[in-house]
A and B are shown apart, each in its own frame.
Chain A
Amino acid sequence: MTTESTVIKAPGEAAAERSGDSGRTDERDKRRSEGMALNVFSHGFLAVWAILIVLPLIWLALGAFKTDAQIGGSALSWPSNWHFDAFGRAWSKGIGDYFANTLIVMVFSVPLTMLFGSMAAYVLARYPFTGNRIIYYFFVSGAMFPVFLALVPLFFMVKRLDMLNSYQGLILVYVAYSMPFTVFFMHSFFRTLPTAVHEAAVIDGASHTRIFFQVMLPMAKPGLISVGIFNVLGQWNQYILPAVLMQPQSSSDPERYMLTQGLVQLQYQMGYETDLPVLFAGVTIAMIPMLVVYLSFQRQIQAGLTSATLK
């Protein structure tokens, strides 16, 4: 992944050293000093941007330990007390519940997305039949349209099914909206799998369904992981769909906000109650799992999202 360790000597360099050609050596020295200057120059810029990324995040997390007056007074103050009570208050203000809501939805939506997406992609990739191409393009074309186009009718569709502000409603909608990308990606993956294994399984008398679950799906694991990461991040960060679909329909309805909605809610609430440390603590709590997941899987996440975009 990194190229820092690979220094490849130019063929000309060795030749120049042997012959002692002074003109070439000068040229080489010049280039080396240019390389040095550039090295300092690039490190400078790179470090500045790294600070611009990290500093606001640390500043925000520090805010959770400050008092409200301190936050409003000066941005560059150091927290005067290192109490964790803002975190406790943020949790009891609902961050805990929003967290749980998001987890409940995703425990179902991500596996179902992967299952249904793979099933459709598999059939479309490996079984020629009339209408195959049409159905494939049908699935894939959904990725081209802005979600805003569908919002109004979607709201009334979910309402008619009596699933507004319900977990199952949001789960089904997440699965449906993750379909274009999942089918697209898994389709190209299933196409690359060898036919021979499939044929061997058929000769052994395995049914189509069995071949899919016991042979093809395990073989497609690398693809499943890439798409899985993409879907986890996408659904965890989704805001517009829950903002439209997960609103209490009456005063007796429970709040089933997702974490993203909950943060916005907390922002409004803490603006009125002027308790900004709670807001900062809430955001920090929301950020920590992403940081942990990211640092543990950063290679896969970077590779997965990159290849997903370039496909």
Chain B
Amino acid sequence: MSHVAKSRGRGGFIAGFLFVPLALYLTFVIWPYVQTFGYSFTNWSGQSPTFDFVGLENYQALMEDEVFLSAIWHNLLLLVFVPVITILLALFFAFMVNAGGRGGAGGVQGVRGSGFYKIVYFFPQVLSLTILAVLFGAVYRSDEGGLLNGVLIKLGLVDPQKPIEWLNEPKFVLWCLLLVVVWHGVGFYLVLFSAAMQSVPKDIYEAALLDGAGRGQTFFKVTLPLLWDSVQTSAVYLGIVAMDMFVLVSTMTSGQFGGGPDHHSEVMATVLMRNFLYLGQSGYACAMGVVMLVLTMILSIITLRATRRDRIEY
């Protein structure tokens, strides 16, 4: 490569190829990121061109903003439950699909129709979150017309006179949203784990079965350790999803940019957007953006550390 790369017109070519991508990226991504830090120390409203430097005032106000603090708490709850539930279900199904078949002696095989299951499970992943929001808005409807209430009434578990107001019930609202995220994500992680499982050489399973290991043991002692890298990656990705949640909360729950009832489903992103686009507190919203960044960074580092294992070569 080296003598090729040193040929004529090289400098101009490099500059020419990098100029447009770099200019776009700096203008619309990097510069706004940097500006956010600056604005977070001001009382800028967004409307007026003038603003004052207020130091750490926004950050102090954030520490006392109960709506924002409850939003952080909700994000943290989701951050624990979204990855754990999604990954457990995905691992369970992936193991079923890849090793749940009529095994016979020694042979480990997938269930019949494993390809079909993968196609069906994965489909929600290509739907936009707004489609999911409308779909589950209808599923969670507070009258008999909602799919969930309708089924529960049919089963006699819910009183037809008093159907449950899923998204208006402070106790339920966050968990209803969590179910949507899990419904959306399981198929994707199933396919991800399947791909990882299939890259594990067959003879490792054979050896384990010959040594008398049951399916359960095989899973925990053989499959899981070999999949650990993908599980770790998934945890980080799902963590990022749990830190966001903006689309679902803002479109499915009550209130300006969602968060209802009475802030019981508030997440950081919805508080930020309300302060920015509705309350005209751009500086304050920027401070929230910075807090979101710091929390995301900390959590990624914790996840990577907590799930660190020795890499297994095969």
Q: Is there contact, CB below 8 Å, between A35 and B127?
A: no
CA of A34 to CA of B31 in the docked complex: distance in angstroms?
Answer: 61
* A33 CB → nearest B CB, Å: 10
Kindly report which residue of chain B lies nearest to residue A47, judged by CB atoms.
B117
Which residues on the B side are within 8 Å of A212 (C-beta)?
17
Which residues on the A side are within 8 Å of B13 (C-beta)?
123, 127, 207-209
CA of A109 to CA of B241 in the docked complex: distance in angstroms?
Answer: 24
CA of A273 to CA of B192 in the docked complex: distance in angstroms?
Answer: 43
Interface centre among A146, A151, A154, A301 (most CB of B within 10 A): A146
Complex partner residue of B1 from A49, A55, A56, A198, CB under 8 angstroms: A198
Interface residue stretch chosen among B61-69, B78-86, B148-156, B304-312: B148-156
CA of A73 to CA of B143 in the docked complex: distance in angstroms?
Answer: 8
Which residues on the B side are within 8 Å of A12 (C-beta)?
105-106, 210
Complex partner residue of B195 from A74, A155, A176, A306, CB under 8 angstroms: A306
Q: List 17 A-B contacts (CB under 8 A).
A: A49-B121, A53-B123, A75-B145, A129-B11, A142-B33, A149-B289, A151-B276, A152-B276, A153-B36, A202-B4, A263-B131, A267-B251, A276-B138, A287-B127, A290-B126, A307-B195, A309-B234
Which residues on the B side are within 8 Å of A208 (C-beta)?
7, 9-10, 13
* B119 CB → nearest A CB, Å: 6
* A297 CB → nearest B CB, Å: 10
Which residues on the A side are within 8 Å of B122 (C-beta)?
294, 298, 301-302
Which residues on the A side are within 8 Å of B276 (C-beta)?
151-152, 155
* A70 CB → nearest B CB, Å: 8
Q: Is there contact, CB below 8 Å, between A309 and B206?
A: no
* A181 CB → nearest B CB, Å: 12
Q: Is there contact, CB below 8 Å, between A198 and B115?
A: no
Q: Is there contact, CB below 8 Å, between B144 and A75?
A: yes
**Assuming A53-B120, A179-B29, is B272 touching A148 (CB within 8 A)?**
yes
Asked if A220 CB lies within 8 Å of chain B CBs, one says no
CA of A240 to CA of B244 in the docked complex: distance in angstroms?
Answer: 11
CA of A52 to CA of B165 in the docked complex: distance in angstroms?
Answer: 21
Q: Is there contact, CB below 8 Å, between B282 and A298?
A: no
Complex partner residue of B30 from A28, A34, A138, A158, CB under 8 angstroms: A138
**Assuming A139-B25, A244-B277, is B143 touching A149 (CB within 8 A)?**
no
* A127 CB → nearest B CB, Å: 5
Q: Can you list, as one digit per residue, whether each of B123-147 has a CB less than 8 Å from chain A (1) or not (0)?
A: 1111111110111111101011111
Q: Is there contact, CB below 8 Å, between B28 and A9?
A: no
Which residues on the B side are within 8 Å of A184 (C-beta)?
none
Which residues on the A side are within 8 Å of B134 (C-beta)?
60, 263-264, 267, 279, 283
Interface residues in B279-301 by Cβ distance below 8 A to A read: 282, 285-286, 288-290, 292-293, 296-297, 300
CA of A181 to CA of B80 in the docked complex: distance in angstroms?
Answer: 26
Complex partner residue of B100 from A42, A71, A154, A279, CB under 8 angstroms: A42
* B23 CB → nearest A CB, Å: 9
Interface of A is mostly: helix
Interface of B is mostly: helix
Interface residues in A231-283 by Cβ distance below 8 A to B read: 233, 236-237, 239-240, 244, 259-261, 263-264, 267, 276, 279-280, 283
* A62 CB → nearest B CB, Å: 11
Q: Is there contact, CB below 8 Å, between A60 and B135?
A: yes
Which residues on the A side are within 8 Å of B35 (C-beta)?
153
Given known contacts A54-B120, A290-B126, A294-B123, what 11 new A-B pairs fall within 8 Å (CB)?
A: A39-B102, A53-B187, A56-B135, A116-B21, A127-B14, A150-B36, A150-B289, A151-B285, A237-B129, A291-B123, A309-B234
CA of A198 to CA of B10 in the docked complex: distance in angstroms?
Answer: 14
**Assuming A149-B36, A149-B292, A264-B251, is B111 touching A46 (CB within 8 A)?**
yes
CA of A237 to CA of B22 in the docked complex: distance in angstroms?
Answer: 25
Q: Is there contact, CB below 8 Å, between B32 and A302?
A: no
* A302 CB → nearest B CB, Å: 5
CA of A285 to CA of B229 in the docked complex: distance in angstroms?
Answer: 39
Q: Is there contact, CB below 8 Å, between B28 and A157?
A: yes
Which residues on the A side are within 8 Å of B100 (C-beta)?
38-39, 41-43, 46
Which residues on the A side are within 8 Å of B21 (C-beta)?
116-117, 119-120, 139, 179, 183
Q: Is there contact, CB below 8 Å, between B133 and A264?
A: yes
Which residues on the B side are within 8 Å of A287 (C-beta)?
127, 131
Interface residues in B182-233 by Cβ distance below 8 A to A read: 183, 186-188, 191-192, 195-196, 198, 202, 206, 209-210, 214-215, 229-230, 233
Interface residues in A146-185 by Cβ distance below 8 A to B read: 146, 148-158, 172-173, 175-177, 179-180, 183
Q: Is there contact, CB below 8 Å, between A151 and B25?
A: no
Kindly report which residue of chain A lies nearest to residue B111, judged by CB atoms.
A42
CA of A34 to CA of B236 in the docked complex: distance in angstroms?
Answer: 36
Asked if B41 CB lies within 8 Å of chain A CBs, one says no
Which residues on the A side are within 8 Å of B157 (C-beta)?
none
Complex partner residue of B93 from A1, A49, A119, CB under 8 angstroms: A49
Which residues on the A side are within 8 Å of B139 (C-beta)?
56
Complex partner residue of A152 from B128, B247, B286, CB under 8 angstroms: B286
